[in-house]
Amino acid sequence: MTRDHNRITGMSSSVTPSLAGPPSVPSLAVPAHDTRTVPSMNATNPSTGSVDAAPDPVHPPAASGTPIGSGAPGPADATAPPPGETAAAGRAAAAGRAGSAPPEGAPAPAAEGTLLDSYDALLLDLDGVVYLGRRAVPGAPEALTKAAERGVRLAYVTNNASRTPGAIAEHLTALGVPATPGDVVTSAQAAARLVAEGVPPGSPVLVVGGMGLRQALRAHGLRPVSTAAEEPAAVVQGIAPDLSYALLSEGVLAVRRGAWFVAANGDTTMPTARGELPGNGSMSRVIATAAGVEPVVAGKPEPPLHRESILRTGARNPLIVGDRLDTDIAGANRAGADSLLVLTGVATPLDALTAIPAHRPTHIAADLGGLHRPPARIAHGPEGWICGGWTASWEDGRLRLDRDAAATDPLDGLRAACAATWAAVGDGRAEDDQVKNALATLGL
Ligand SMILES: [Mg+2]
């Protein structure tokens, strides 16, 4: 192994050469969707006279619920919105599809399903979605048990490489979450597969990380070692609570001698009950800085982790659920799958509003309970983007939010706000100052 290995295949954290083939995501089956009209959501686009029914190339609009345009009156209203507005509007509309309970007094949603009805598998991030540190996110065990009982496949997809799938499944089971080791897919497994495809079978690999990495490497026929003197072909780094200066030094020495440098994930932080702690992306900067070599990253948002999860579940139409825009949601968008952002972890409502296009989710919900509620309805009317009694518009370069008596759920306000903001900024991103005052009125 020479230094060239790092130059050729390891210099970009966004490239995974040996797994860079065409996505193996199964074609995303589009389920039948509810075509009932919702009069209050059928407002037309004042600039086109049409309902905004533009297809979204990333998120097929029929994937769930009755989002924008589902009540399109007829051919006369099928005028295409102007270029530039459509894609952003479609993505923006999609953001509002996550469920919230209808306001009191609204017609009973007897024929309306839940957000989950449109998907056959959930690819779930763990930290900040299912648990925070050792504790379950409130309501998560119940929501996932209910999903499993309905026959939806669950896969737990984590960038955390410090623990084995068995240990993670045990933790989940103790929290009341249905899980077996085979349901857990870790970035350690993705990293081990990446390394196994890039070095000769049986090669020594220096593990700067925990037992999860060691086990995953052995499963791929590689030999975990602990010192640079053992001439490892690769150095693999994953988060480990007891990571030492001595082991980091071995990693630096090995990489400087030409070993291939692979990081299980690039998360700069990880959420815990105490707050944000340093993640593997921060810890791997030590070797990267001291050795002058950037690692190849195996975990989210790189495709291998989600791809393996989809294959393992046999999913035809998976929903990727996460709390981070730059890993979970970005990874879903790269895989061409729908995504649900839950606000129980890292990402805040402000983060969602100001997200760049690659980081914008299909759905937003407060927590996993949103899986079992009807998909939110959102539409573009004369006054702006409407969801659950909230109307969001963009005036003089700033977000504006108005509400009527039907506005009971501030999450609907956020969905409308995202729709308006994303449509306004298109392929750019909003500045905090443009949205902060309006967002404050939601009290989220
Ligand atoms: Mg997370």
Residues with CB under 5 A from ligand 1 (ion): 125, 127-128, 323, 345
323 C-alpha to ligand 1 centroid (Å): 5
Structural domain of 57:
46-71+79-111+376-440
Q: Which of the two residues, 159 and 338, has the higher pLDDT score?
A: 338
The reply to whether 162 falls in a domain is no
Reading the block at residue 44, the tokens are 């037309």
Cβ pair 20, 334 in contact under 8 A: no
**Average pLDDT rounded to a whole number, residues 20-35:** 27
161 C-alpha to ligand 1 centroid (Å): 13
78 C-alpha to ligand 1 centroid (Å): 40
What amino acid is encoded at 370 in this protein? G
The reply to whether 324 falls in a domain is no
Cβ pair 157, 189 in contact under 8 A: no
- The whole-chain average pLDDT of the chain stands at 79
The reply to whether 64 falls in a domain is yes
The reply to whether 56 falls in a domain is yes
Number of structural domains in the chain:
1
Q: Measured between alpha carbons, how far is 60 from 64 in angstroms, rounded to an integer?
A: 9
Q: Which of 42-51, 180-189, 363-372, 404-413 has the highest mean pLDDT?
A: 363-372
Q: Helix or strand or coil: residue 164?
A: coil
The reply to whether 272 falls in a domain is no
pLDDT of residue 293: 98
The reply to whether 308 falls in a domain is no
Residues serving a catalytic function are: 125, 127
220 C-alpha to ligand 1 centroid (Å): 26
Tell me the pLDDT tens digit for each residue of 120-172.
Answer: 999 999 989 999 988 999 999 999 999 999 999 999 998 876 788 999 999 99
The reply to whether 150 falls in a domain is no
Q: Measured between alpha carbons, how far is 104 from 225 in angstroms, rounded to an integer?
A: 62
Q: What is the model's pTM? A: 0.70
The reply to whether 316 falls in a domain is no
Q: How many CA atoms lie within 13 A of 154 on its CB side?
A: 25
